[in-house]
Amino acid sequence: MEYLRIGLITRPHGVHGALKVQPLSEDLTRYKGLREAYLERGGAYEKVEVSDVSVQPDAVYMTISVCRDRNTAETLRNHYISVDREHAVKLPEGRYFVEDMIGCDVYDTNGAYYGKLTDVLETGANDVYVIQGEKQLMVPALRKLLKEVDVANKRIELYADVLAEVGLFED
């Protein structure tokens, strides 16, 4: 089964095992209907029931079935809450899960190969794609830069002229 991370547990919330979770999804409404998820712990995924979800501007607060007190909640700091692919939100056309983009080969419209997409940094204004090849390349995730994203074939094509303006190569 394939899993997608949707939240990072940052700390306990209260004394009864509730958790403060940093959302990893742009669509905060997705958490309101969350009833089951997976706790990623020690490389394994444990199915958990989710309840008492509260979506706030700074975080999502929730209770999971394996956590009923503050001490247990404390041990879950920096663990991820995930969902299986079947229960992931459906993305609109032109939007992709970061997990699907990681590992894509990156080319420009002139056919130049830059390497593989290894990370996507969330900066607030625009995400930044990190591409590792002979040199590291960092580019903002702009619609005007992306000619094509083909996650099925693990290929991303960037407009060469826009890349020349916005790309930042490692020295």
pLDDT in tens, 38-94: 999 988 999 999 999 999 988 999 999 999 999 999 999 999 999 988 877 787 787
pLDDT at 131 over 70: yes
Greatest Cα-to-Cα distance within the chain, rounded to the nearest angstrom: 59
What's the pLDDT at 64? 96
Quick: pLDDT tens for 109-123: 999 999 999 998 877
User: What is 9-55 written as a DSSP string?
Assistant: EEEEETTTTEEEEEE-SS-GGGGTT--EEEEEETTEEEEEEEEEEEE
